[in-house]
């Protein structure tokens, strides 16, 4: 009888400091150039809208108070206009953020980061997770 083999799937190294929700963020931490390609599309659009609003406020010579008010109104108009196909509501307290998306970490979309390869040569034990073994981000 032929021997059947199954594919091997690595376990995420949940106790590694570079593993965030089963994604490896080491490259992001070491090389900020990766940051742009992993950046959340909604956060990026908000940044562009804020920058454009600030430029308009400067062009009109608004004082600081009116400039801030103008920028906040612009962001309020922008909020909700950008939709992301990857959006998934945050369910756990550790996933809560400004967008309410479980995939947003800092300003990065974790779905764009590579999967954690498991216990690899870059594995670095996270002391905080070791102190609280039940904690799973």
Distance of CA 67 to the CA centre of its chain: 29
Confidence band for 32, pLDDT divided at 50, 70 and 90? low
Mean pLDDT of 20-43: 81
User: How far, in Å, CA of 128 to CA of 94, rounded?
Assistant: 14
pLDDT of residue 13: 78
Measured over the CA atoms of residue 28, residue 93, residue 104 and residue 137, the dihedral's sign is: positive
φ, ψ of residue 104 in degrees (nearest 5): -85, 125
Q: What is the pTM of this model?
A: 0.67
Is the separation of the CB atoms in 47 and 41 below 8 Å?
Answer: no
Q: Where are the domains of the chain?
A: 12-40+88-137, 41-83
């Amino acid at each position: 009888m032929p021997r059947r083999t199954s594919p091997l799937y690595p376990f995420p190294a949940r106790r590694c400091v570079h593993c965030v929700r089963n994604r490896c963020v080491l490259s992001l931490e070491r090389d900020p150039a990766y940051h742009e390609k992993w950046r959340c599309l909604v956060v990026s659009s908000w940044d562009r809208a804020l920058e454009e609003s600030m430029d308009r406020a400067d062009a009109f010579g608004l004082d600081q108070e009116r400039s801030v008010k103008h920028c906040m109104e612009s962001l309020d108009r922008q909020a909700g206009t950008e939709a992301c196909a990857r959006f998934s509501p945050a369910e756990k307290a550790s996933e809560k953020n400004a967008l309410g998306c479980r995939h947003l970490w800092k300003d990065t979309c974790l779905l764009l980061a590579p999967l954690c390869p498991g216990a690899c040569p870059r594995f670095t034990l996270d002391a905080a997770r070791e102190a609280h073994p039940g904690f799973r981000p």
